[in-house]
Structure 1
């Protein structure tokens, strides 16, 4: 069972969406891996049952390493591989650019391309937060407690995003050239990149690559969709080799292998 909801209005500058999930109880004796594809956003997750989050460093890593039960996932430019052998009950949020300083007191680039245990950022408050969410007895109630926790953190240290970066992020999603964004900001190229990474975690060129890829994934609907190359050209790729190269680096598989996997959710693929 999956429950999703938009955050309250005062959280929306920082939180894109919230969710709570109780999956079907499936357990495997051998590790099952899932590639989680990048969206350009950060996420905050509390695991309420099942094993702690276990990630794999690369395809040869058979053991993996454990991150924990309360985790911050930074913005990424490529997939990460996680263990999905056991069922987990979790509550989480997809965070917008600009949320890192407000929620965690750090620039987003310090959390990018990796997962961080929440207690490294919140101290003992991370365990207290996990306990408060766990004490709620239904998904709706757990989301309400989670939303209250986010509200408490954000009200204690509100952080407005730099207006030039907010404008640049809005235009970047529509495919505007990075040079134009720098010029419109009124800052030097170096200063613009610094401000951008502080808010978004990734430099603009790398985030642009993820957003272009996600435009393809949003249009892909499975067996009856347009050919990959047509979707790629519509999304702004120069040609099919360009798309194939990006697809492999971002997902860890070819477009054909992705289609054969037929994922139920476009950004979560068994591998």
Structure 2
């Protein structure tokens, strides 16, 4: 499996895009046939060859098709079909970013859905660029980031901010460092107003987003350690769980695995789809 992840190069892009990522499974390479994607508050624009098939399954719902597609924020774990060779370039947006990028024709944020998309429907004067970008991504991550910055900039310049997007951005910056109940006072607005704005922009509650961020951080922490090195009591304490049984119940609910099973299988693809440290 080949993969990389980089932050955008342009400050104008980083306001809305967290990172670009690339993953390719070449013929003859072994790997998890059905890896999983943990819950994610961010939307991803996944660029793929037009005839390449994709398949996502979530709680008996199946999303399948060909080519590029939107992977919208999801509260539940998706199972992927990675039995065959594939290649993707991903654009991971900050949570709630699509609100500002679609404000003029705004509808409530879409959750737990994958939909097909063409580059020309997102970026004006761009068509059939997937093959060019994929070829470039195999050779030079930096040049790929430069090209993606250039393609995205005209679209992102049309963004529109309002009071809901502004307060949501501030809340997201603080969400991992303080309790949800303290955010309203810190941002000088009522808790009810904050919750309404946050839900309007992201489609999520503050608690849901905070929980997903904590899960991602914990899985990244576990992924970097051997199963024999993990002390689950210490992990529970480090990530704010009252005790080890609470942690076990949380993991079982979120990803369908007990801690020990996860540590052995490592089947969640936190090393792709925007889930690794920047290289």
TM-score of the superposed pair, with normalisation by structure 1? 0.81
Show structure 1 runs of 4+ deviating over 4 A: 104-109, 122-130
Contact 1:118–1:126, Cα closer than 8 Å, also in 2: no
| 1:117 partnered with 2:116 | yes
Corresponding residue of 1:165 = 168
Corresponding residue of 1:95 = 93
Q: CA RMSD in A?
A: 3.1
Structure 1 residues 75-224: aligned runs within 5 Å? 75-105=73-103, 110-118=109-117, 124-125=121-122, 129=126, 131-136=128-133, 137-139=135-137, 140=140, 142-159=144-161, 162-174=165-177, 176-220=178-222, 221-224=225-228
Report the secondary structure of 1:22's partner residue.
Answer: strand
Corresponding residue of 2:23 = 21
| 1:253 partnered with 2:257 | yes
- Classify 1:134/1:267 alpha carbon distance in 2 versus 1 (closer, same or farther; 3 Å): closer
Count of equivalent residues: 260
Corresponding residue of 2:6 = 5
User: Residue 158 of structure 1: CA displacement?
Assistant: 4.5
User: Residue 224 of structure 1: CA displacement?
Assistant: 4.4
Pick from 231, 239, 246 the counterpart of residue 235 of structure 2. Answer: 231
User: Residue 229 of structure 1: CA displacement?
Assistant: 2.8
Contact 1:56–1:82, Cα closer than 8 Å, also in 2: yes
Contact 2:124–2:155, Cα closer than 8 Å, also in 1: no
- Between the aligned partners of 2:66 and 2:51, the Cα distance in structure 1 is 11
- Classify 1:171/1:216 alpha carbon distance in 2 versus 1 (closer, same or farther; 3 Å): same
TM-score of the superposed pair, with normalisation by structure 2? 0.79
Report the secondary structure of 2:27's partner residue.
Answer: coil
User: Residue 264 of structure 1: CA displacement?
Assistant: 8.3
